[in-house]
């Protein structure tokens, strides 16, 4: 346990940073859960997550503005996801910009698509910041609440182990009875 805590203290915030660069909800949720357990600071996690996601998505937007559709010609495997993002952007405009972080599968490609669609920087930047703030709060708060649940589970682990043992024992007995009846039925036929 001590080695785990040393690892978290040494690498935890770096993991948050790296997780926020990519679709790192798992890292954000886990680190926030660890914050609920007292191993990390939730405010540091939120600050790192927010700043990283704003900067990365702003950079991807600039990439899309600079290279536009040629980017997707160079990487044809991204085309299906990009097409989906383009359709959503044209259909929902501002709402898509506010919500793309929550859409599984197109989260990373979306800022590139938004840039390639020639959305004005003055329109994207404030919506990007607002979206990052919402995503950070939702992700970190959800992880923090999961940590609270995890803490209660860990405090009651003995009770859960007893129930788990009982459930496994009942399942084994039921399986034995089932196969015994099945074998007996097959002998009668």
How much is the pTM? 0.76
Q: Tell me the pLDDT tens digit for each residue of 112-133.
A: 999 999 999 999 999 999 999 9
The number of CA neighbours under 13 Å toward the Cβ of 95 is 5
Contact call for residues 150 and 33 (beta carbons, < 8 A): yes
Q: Tell me the pLDDT tens digit for each residue of 10-46.
A: 788 998 898 888 767 888 988 899 899 888 999 999 9
């Amino acid at each position: 346990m001590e080695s785990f805590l040393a690892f978290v203290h040494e690498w935890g915030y770096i993991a948050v940073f790296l997780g926020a660069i990519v679709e790192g909800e798992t890292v954000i949720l886990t680190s926030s859960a660890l914050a609920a357990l007292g191993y990390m600071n939730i405010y540091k996690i939120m600050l790192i997550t927010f700043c990283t996601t704003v900067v990365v998505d702003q950079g991807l937007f600039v990439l899309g503005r600079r290279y536009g559709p040629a980017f997707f010609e160079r990487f044809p495997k991204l085309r299906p996801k990009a097409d989906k993002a383009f359709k959503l952007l044209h259909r929902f405009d501002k709402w898509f910009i506010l919500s793309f972080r929550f859409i599984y599968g197109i989260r990373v490609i979306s800022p590139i698509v938004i840039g390639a669609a020639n959305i004005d920087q003055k329109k994207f930047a404030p919506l990007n910041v607002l979206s990052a703030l919402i995503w950070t709060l939702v992700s970190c708060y959800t992880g923090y609440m999961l940590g609270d649940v995890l803490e209660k589970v860990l405090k009651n682990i003995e009770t859960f182990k007893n129930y788990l043992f009982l459930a496994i024992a009942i399942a084994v007995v039921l399986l034995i009875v089932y196969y015994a009846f099945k074998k007996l039925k097959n002998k009668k036929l």
